[in-house]
Chain A
């Protein structure tokens, strides 16, 4: 009985828990509520993934109002893996979050922190599971508004968190409004908001200027949320000044949900037959992805604050994902979807290691990293393995993504792309080596006496590193699901 309602439970459980958490008197109550919700959401995601792998696409009509008049939740392989990433990351990161925010956020704000966390969680899950275009906008805004609050909570450490949150608010709202303009134009031309129905009504209209403008608005709006170069300007400051636990959660989930939304609109709603689909991928997404890979990696090399360095690195990694999308082939899409999972695991681990440094030293600049190889051996070992994964060394999860990207480029006959992917990985070597050199080959700053991070921070970090290595050695499950997701996307809405 419950299994019939799993799609709606995925969203309803965190949604109901969010206002309930406001009534929690103590931080521990709010924490255990959030942890229980996260575990429940994880269980639902795993069950949904299994159902989808067995039965194919699931369709759930909200309130029993049949699509396309009612709102439909549609789960296929592409959704299910992103749902699993979001709920999985949240569950692993929550114990880490509790220890980390004890140092970084005022005690009286902790309960409200968990409320905003649950709202952000709801928004991300809803954005991914919904099959209705306007519903996607609503959940996008729910997740974005709570993210602005979560970023601003870093103001106790550094007041620049407030301006970072404000800039993110302005840019994020413009992006979401562009998205809703595009959806409005699609509604104007087709009379429906349901994604599968749009997919059927758009091809008969043919070449129409309103559809082209709708396409442009939607891609731009989602691109802003995705931090697609050059609309990434909000991301470095937001990640650098937010509390460490918030950066861990956002880096692993928020932009991935936007990548999923881009995939859904490009391949399912507009479809590969849309007359400007090919040119948009080749002449718009591919150059922007290449620019992201190189420009962001180069800027990362010169950053003093390591959190900001990893934020620019995230922009570059998003460039890899968009490059995979712009190839438009099965291998290219598989590469993009695998990288969604792999990047969540890599960046989650790296930001967790950095958060441990912030916990002990109050900051994560290159000066704080000097000599940490001796003072915090486990944390730095985690950072090194995460860094190797970022570069794409074999046996780590980053290698799998790079492999598929290069295979996809060669398959499309674009061998210069393969060369460029390798070249930008070499840029990653430079900025990772900077940190490794400071940690292992430099002396600690005078008076630095803090020891290793507490177990509450180290254990989630090493769970993520374990996932890095495990899925790097045995990538069978992730590649199989990603390939099935790519097949579903290329095959159109079913």
Chain B
């Protein structure tokens, strides 16, 4: 792939990078808020994908200027992305509200500590006085 091809497809490379970064953050980070941030990065990559495909070469912003020879970029992807952004905002708000409730209930927002607390509730405390991760329990 020549340098010109790479630069021409630059948007799509960034889409792929952001998508993978976002998904990796969701999977690898144990902090519940970081997972939500990863989800947001993943969703931003989708927005970039849609908007990139809407651009028409030589096209201007899709607002009517009255000039009959004007070339406009495709407005439909912009509309779709506005909808998707709103969905993303609602999801983030809901996710963070759940994190607040989880913090109140478990006193932690780390996934492994929450899992350890749940396991303890279901199976009982570990026999050797350490918590499920081998750390000494706080007195």
A interface residue numbers (CB < 8 A to B): 134, 137-138, 141, 145, 148-149, 152, 155, 159-160, 162-163, 165-166, 169-170, 173-174, 176-177, 180-181, 184, 187-188
Contacts and interface: CB of A to CB of B under 8 A. Distances in A.
Contacts of B94: 145, 148-149, 169
Given A145-B90, A177-B42, A184-B50, 6 more contacts: A145-B94, A166-B32, A174-B23, A174-B42, A176-B87, A187-B53
A310 B42 CA distance: 33
Given A145-B90, A163-B114, A166-B32, A173 B106 contact: no
B39 A174 contact: yes
B84 interface: yes
Interface stretch (B55-63, B65-73, B95-103, B126-134): B95-103
B118 A163 contact: yes
Contacts of B43: 173, 177
Contacts of B35: 170
A216 B102 CA distance: 34
Interface string B20-51: 00010010000010011001001100100110
B26 A174 contact: yes
B98 A162 contact: yes
Nearest to A304: B122
Nearest to A172: B91
* Most chain B beta carbons < 10 A, residue from A141, A148, A176, A184: A184
Contact of A181 (B32, B49, B106, B121): B49
Contacts of A180: 46, 84
A268 B41 CA distance: 32
Given A163-B114, A180-B46, A184-B53, A173 B91 contact: yes
Contacts of A181: 46, 49
Contacts of A141: 87, 90-91
Centre residue among A137, A155, A162 by max chain B CB count within 10 A: A162
B108 to A, nearest CB: 11
Contacts of B101: 152, 155, 162
**Number of chain B interface residues as a range:** 20 to 34
Interface of B: 23, 26, 32, 35-36, 39, 42-43, 46, 49-50, 53, 76-77, 80, 83-84, 87, 90-91, 94-95, 98-99, 101-102, 105-106, 114, 118, 121
A479 B72 CA distance: 52
A125 B102 CA distance: 31
Contacts of B77: 184, 187
Contact of B106 (A137, A148, A159, A170): A159
A173 B53 contact: no
| Majority secondary structure, B binding face | helix
A166 B105 contact: no
A180 B44 CA distance: 12
A163 B102 contact: yes
A404 B76 CA distance: 44
A169 B43 CA distance: 14
Nearest to B36: A170
A138 B105 contact: no
A122 to B, nearest CB: 14
Nearest to A160: B118
A155 B105 CA distance: 9
8 tightest Cβ-Cβ pairs between the two chains A and B: A159-B105, A141-B87, A166-B98, A162-B102, A188-B53, A184-B50, A173-B91, A162-B101
28 contacts: A134-B80, A134-B83, A138-B87, A141-B87, A141-B90, A141-B91, A145-B90, A145-B94, A148-B94, A148-B98, A162-B102, A163-B114, A166-B32, A169-B91, A169-B95, A170-B36, A174-B26, A174-B39, A174-B42, A176-B87, A180-B46, A184-B50, A184-B53, A184-B77, A187-B53, A187-B76, A187-B77, A188-B53
A384 to B, nearest CB: 28
A155 B118 CA distance: 13
B39 A173 contact: yes
A160 B87 CA distance: 25
Nearest to A192: B76
A165 B98 contact: yes
A166 B95 contact: yes
Contacts of B26: 170, 174
